Amino acid sequence: MRRLAWSDLRLLTAVAAAGGLAACGPSDDTSDCTGLVAGTLVVSEVQADFDAPTGSSGADTGHEWFEIYNASTAPVELAGVLVEHMRPSETVGKAHTMRTVTIPANGYLVLGNVVPEAAPAHVDYGYGADLGDLYNADGGKLKLSCGGVLIDEAIYDGVEPGHTRTLDGKQAPDYQTNDTQAAWCSAAEDPSAEYEPTNFGTPGAPNQECMNVVPGQCDDGGAMRATVPPAPGDLTITEVMPDPSAAADATAEWIEVRVNRDVDLNDLGVAGASGTPVVLSSQTCVRATAGTYLVFARSTDMAMNGGLPRVDGGVVSLTNTNGTVRLLMGATELDAMTWTSVRAGKSLQLSAGLTAPADNDVPANLCDGNAAYGAGDQGTPGAANRDCGGSMAGMCMDTGTGMMRPIVSPSAGQLVINEWMPNPMLVNDTDGEWFEVKALADVDLNGLQVGDATLVTTPAIAVSGPCVRVATGGYALFAQTTTPATNGMLPTVEAAFPTGVDLVQGSVASPGTLQIAVGGTVLSTVTWTASTVARAIMLDTDGTQCTAPGGVMLYNGTDTGTPRASNTPPECPP
């Protein structure tokens, strides 16, 4: 069976291979490759996610590369070799036909996403942008072919920033070895393998050795131990989403599983009625504790999977009618759930309080999900389900207890806008604007709306799902983007601005406005008639506005402010 892995768990890479040995191809840049046969060239290392040192650009462009090995005993001319890049499930992707370049016998060649004249020292050949970006999540596939003959095909997955995916260096790269899942690992942080600052791998050289994993064992904090596999009764399928509307079925389908006993998920398979399972494979122990909910999805990318709050593993394609999904440990079925039909954009869920595998066999125990999540579909992925005989409106899941409870919405005066940055310098306004709220009572942010002069009706934080709690005296941060690499190195951001919200610089003629609300009721509003580049506007203890003092409390080395922290100074100058 093919096993797919997941990057947030540092899982093993699956590889699909071809076969054979090689002869020399043509030397003319424009000629078609002929003569090479399967197995001559082996994909042996992939750098898909460059880790930028502090203060440098985090863009992968110019830093992605992959390595191929000549398994033959003679130099090979690669002109005309077709290189293709695509998702693991795809058969057609982006392609590049190689120019004249020779790979030595039993030698390596590193191909990078740069133009040839800009290639760094560790890259031997630049293919520019022809292959597109290597994928940081959900895996990708690299294919080498010659005159229609497949030479090698490798799937890379389990990508870790700053670490290559490496074929085990215990022996020379081999096209049959890279078929074996356990033969791949993330490059270790060995100083001798730091080919660029904070990036580890061995481009153009023999690979590091991967840690051997003994079947039935896993790495628990650096020590190997026996896994605790789930048995029948330990896991229950509690919710399925076969027909999402907010995103494509191919990326946004998912299932939810409740854990009934503390177990390790290593080698857990998710299968259709009779199809090949997707298996969660990892060197590291993948522990799941009783009472938690897991989400298995077609994609880990929130922009493609409908905005799922989390993804714990992969899932097979789900059919909208007469569907089946099964949980397997080897040949042992742990649970299965079937359905005759589902409604578009709504999950099919097991009623709250039902946790045994047999419960989802009773049609009367199942109903539509009705709580909005992510991009707008209905369901409770990763959270307790609603009661099929009642309603979960106004409820959120307390992450501390794993139970649903009423949302504690703030009233006017209990949540105030305390600091805002209309004009950052380190990054553009469209990336780096932010504002901070301070809680004057214990409240939940679920359902909080944001606006500038106009209030956006769609909440910045969904009503359903996990409770987003802020204790009295605590702070929460909202920004144009949630990623530190693009938003100016902000601390944790609760949510991104809704589309269209903009913190203008402000003037007497066109003052800036910012407001927050719940259910259309405004909680706090601030206005300003001026702002200073690289300096936040903040409130002192009596509500007076002042500008953050220049050069004090630089949160990113350039911009001044105290995001997600007490304002400085606490009192504005008289």
81, 36 in Cβ contact below 8 A? yes
Tell me if the bond preceding 569 is cis, omega within 30° of 0: yes
pLDDT tens readout for residues 22-46: 333 333 344 568 779 999 999 999 9
In the predicted structure, residue 214 carries a pLDDT above the cut 80: no
| Mean pLDDT, rounded, for 133-141 | 91
Predicted local confidence at residue 70, as pLDDT:
95
In the predicted structure, residue 1 carries a pLDDT above the cut 50: no
Least confident of 18-22, 141-145, 386-390, 563-567: 18-22
pLDDT tens readout for residues 288-297: 999 999 999 9
**The token pair that represents 315 in the structure block:** 């899932």
pLDDT tens readout for residues 475-522: 999 999 999 999 999 999 999 999 999 999 999 999 999 999 999 999
CA quadruple 496, 497, 498, 504: dihedral, nearest 10:
-160
Residue 573's pLDDT band, with cuts at 50, 70 and 90, is confident
In the predicted structure, residue 64 carries a pLDDT above the cut 80: yes
User: Rounded to whole angstroms, what are the CA distances from 450 to 371, 469, 523?
Assistant: 21, 17, 10
* CATH for the 415-547 domain, from 2.60.40, 3.30.1490, 1.10.287, 3.90.1570: 2.60.40
Predicted local confidence at residue 216, as pLDDT:
84
* Kind and range of the H or E run holding 232: none
In the predicted structure, residue 342 carries a pLDDT above the cut 60: yes
CATH of domain 7-200: 2.60.40.1260
What DSSP state is assigned to residue 186?
A: E
Predicted local confidence at residue 404, as pLDDT:
67
Other CB atoms within a 10 A radius of the CB of residue 77 amount to 19
Q: Alpha-carbon distance 181 to 109, whole Å?
A: 23
In the predicted structure, residue 124 carries a pLDDT above the cut 70: yes
| Mean pLDDT, rounded, for 364-385 | 92
Give the chain's end-to-end CA distance (angstroms, integer).
72
In the predicted structure, residue 8 carries a pLDDT above the cut 60: no
Predicted local confidence at residue 568, as pLDDT:
76
Other CB atoms within a 10 A radius of the CB of residue 389 amount to 8
Burial readout 268-281 (b: 16 or more C-beta within 10 A, e: otherwise)? bbbbbeeeebbbbb
Other CB atoms within a 10 A radius of the CB of residue 400 amount to 8
In the predicted structure, residue 149 carries a pLDDT above the cut 50: yes
| Mean pLDDT, rounded, for 278-287 | 86
Residue 10's pLDDT band, with cuts at 50, 70 and 90, is very low
CA quadruple 186, 190, 193, 197: dihedral, nearest 10:
100
Predicted local confidence at residue 392, as pLDDT:
62
| Mean pLDDT, rounded, for 324-337 | 94
pLDDT tens readout for residues 393-407: 677 877 776 666 788
Predicted local confidence at residue 497, as pLDDT:
96
Predicted local confidence at residue 39, as pLDDT:
92
Other CB atoms within a 10 A radius of the CB of residue 361 amount to 13
In the predicted structure, residue 347 carries a pLDDT above the cut 60: yes
Q: Alpha-carbon distance 169 to 172, whole Å?
A: 7
Residue 243's pLDDT band, with cuts at 50, 70 and 90, is very high
| Mean pLDDT, rounded, for 184-201 | 89
297, 316 in Cβ contact below 8 A? no
Contacts of 408 (CB under 8 A, 6+ apart): 442, 443, 444
More reliable by pLDDT, 19 or 145: 145
Residue 14's pLDDT band, with cuts at 50, 70 and 90, is very low
| Mean pLDDT, rounded, for 442-468 | 91
**In percent, how much of the chain has pLDDT > 70?**
91
User: Rounded to whole angstroms, what are the CA distances from 328 to 218, 263, 442?
Assistant: 19, 14, 43
